[in-house]
Amino acid sequence: MSSSFDFFIALDGNGLNGFEGFGGVAKLKCDPEAGQFDIKVKFFDGFSGGHATQINPSGTVGFLGNLSQTLLFYDPRTLEETKRFSTLRFCAPDTFYSSQTHVLWLDDARFITVLGPAFYEFHLDDLEHPKLLGAHGVTVPHAIKRTPSGRYLCYGAMDKDGTGFANQAGIFDLQTKTARVVKLPATVWHLGMHPTKDVFYAPTQRCAPQDASFVEYTIAHFKNYLFEIDAVEGIVTRHLSIPKDLPGALTSDVVVTQDEVLYNACASGALVRVALDKFSDVKWVDERPSGLDSLRTLRTAWSNILESASRANIPGQPHVLLKALRATRFSTLDGSYGLQRSPDGQWLLSAHRGLNEVRVYRFPSLELHKRIRFPSIREYFPQHFGVLDDPRLGFHHTALLARG
């Protein structure tokens, strides 16, 4: 199998709250054995809240999920926009982060995503007439994956004002067009699918509302879980919990192999890996910035401190911000948000948001092979950002496409 591949990163710009940030995509053209890594970046005009990207099976169309109720498509080869379409013609969201953050490609032209309370199937050539599949049954669906059998959609659910903590995952049967809800003791947004079984793995996304609102959430300092859920039976078959003072806060991409689960603990600055045989052996790859890295990224650290203070009700709820700092292990930089394993299984790529770099690890040893720094956002918005502004592009969810 070729070791050449393209690593795509959804971009939401500098700052903490990507829901309100920029919208773009970066591509890292990779040939690790040859030492070749080529960077390309594209931000889209009139578009914000970039979040996740998914590529169709043949690699000819990319979708940039977002918090702006827009279907935006681009050419994965050039990153140029090919089409965009407003979903507000169908429904307005009842909370601003209800949007088409993720899609599930069925083939090169058909995909499934969320509109309000239900799943719909879209066709690229006829976006005006989506087909209703059925109600999803959860608060606000987030990441969506399909089981290896092709029968089930599995998805996380976000906390929501008026409803409270979601504490659930959803399973939608594409044959019967019905949904089941798996109740959980904590909220999950993201998940990874077992490569051969109709089983998925969901780590918790524990957020704290401020003044009873999740609109500008902070990181909750509670224990975190990893659930193994059988999509056929709709039950939790195994789970583990991580004490609150060990790295496990917030999640993003989830990678599952035949032997283990790996995922980002974004706020805690670590990668988590769990062996599937015992489902209790938790190991970490520490990605916290070194002292030198912290000095190099003072503008980012200051930006995070400023935005955290502007979002938190410090006089009324000072403990919320203090707990968030404890969850981050008192780091002022965010950790890795993107995680993908290469098609040949020899490499693991981690998109480190705080350091604005991609880390390439050898797999399965997770020995660090290379750090690839990305350009500053000032190169793309020189009229808006100066030399003292936060330079991050805003890495979020990622996708990977084999070449050759």
pLDDT for residue 211 is more than 90: no
pLDDT tens profile 103-139: 999 999 999 999 999 999 999 999 999 999 999 999 9
* pTM (2 d.p.): 0.97
- The conformation of residue 197, written as its DSSP 8-state character, comes to S
Q: Over 70: is that where the pLDDT of 2 sits?
A: no
What integer pLDDT is reported at residue 215 of this predicted model?
Answer: 82
Residue 3: pLDDT band with limits 50, 70, 90: confident
The beta-strand segments (E) located in 231-314 are: 235-242, 254-256, 260-265, 270-275, 282-286
* Structure-token match 């790529």, residue found: 349
* Residue in this structure with the two tokens 């062996």, named with its chain if needed: 275
Question: Torsion angle of alpha carbons 83, 375, 336, 79, nearest 10°?
Answer: 20
Report the pLDDT value the prediction gives residue 330, as an integer from 0 to 100: 84
For residue 17, pLDDT over 80 is answered with no
- The predicted pLDDT at position 383 comes to 93
The pLDDT score that the predictor gives to residue 309 is 81
Using a 10 angstrom Cβ sphere, with 0-12 exposed, 13-18 middle and 19 or more buried, the burial of residue 334 is: buried
pLDDT tens for 32-91 read 999 999 999 999 999 999 999 999 999 999 999 999 999 999 999 999 999 999 999 999
pLDDT given at position 322: 86
| Percentage with pLDDT > 90 across the chain | 83
Residue 307 has a pLDDT of: 85
CA distance 347 to 368: 10
pLDDT digits (tens, 9 = 90+) for 88-109: 999 999 998 999 999 999 999 9
**Structure-derived torsion over alpha carbons of residues 207, 210, 212, 216, reported in degrees to the nearest 10:** -70
Question: What mean pLDDT is predicted for residues 16-30?
Answer: 92
